[in-house]
Amino acid sequence: MADEFIKGLGIFTGAGLGWVVLAGWYRTPGFESTRQLISPASPSPANADLFNLLAIGLMDTLFWFAILGPLAFWVILPAVREASDTIDDRRNAE
């Protein structure tokens, strides 16, 4: 259980750190703005060059990785294991 926790926490902090750095470049119009980290990506992915396109894609990937990774290790995997254990227990009880 502790291993699953540190996996989720490592994904959350690591991917979140990478996302916040890239979002600081691409989704922050200014540091006195009220829409920091959540503004539309600039330059727009439609007419960005290759490196900017890669960075924007990596930013979105890291964002969803930081959301889905902990969700998988903290919620989904333990729930699946609990469910399978419960099913096994009921089968053995019968």
Partner 1 sequence: MSDTNTNTDTDTDTDTDGTEARTDGSGGPGIVAPDDETPSWRERKERTTGLSRLTYEYFERARREDQDLRTESDYVERDVLAFPTWPHETVRNLSIAAFFTGMIFFLSATMPPHIGSPANPSSTPAIILPDWYLYWSFGLLKLGPLNPELAILGGEKITADRTYGVLANVVVVGFVAIVPFLNKGSARRPVEQPFWSAVGVGGIVFAFTISLLAVKNLMPMDVDLLFDLTFLLPIVATTVTYAVLKTMREGYMYDLNRRYYRLRPPK
**What residues make contact with partner 1 under the rule CB under 8 A?**
2-3, 6, 17, 21, 24-25, 28, 31-32, 34-35, 38
Residue 35 or residue 81: which is nearer to partner 1 going by CB? 35
Residue 34 or residue 47: which is nearer to partner 1 going by CB? 34
φ, ψ dihedrals at 42, nearest 5°: -135, 120
Residue 2 or residue 93: which is nearer to partner 1 going by CB? 2
Cβ atoms of 65 and 57 closer than 8 Å: no
- Nearest approach, Cβ of 28 to partner 1 (angstroms)? 7
Measure the CA angle with vertex 15, ends 19 and 22; round to 5°: 15
- Nearest approach, Cβ of 51 to partner 1 (angstroms)? 15
Residues 6+ apart with CB under 8 A from 56: 22, 26, 41, 45, 48
- Nearest approach, Cβ of 94 to partner 1 (angstroms)? 25
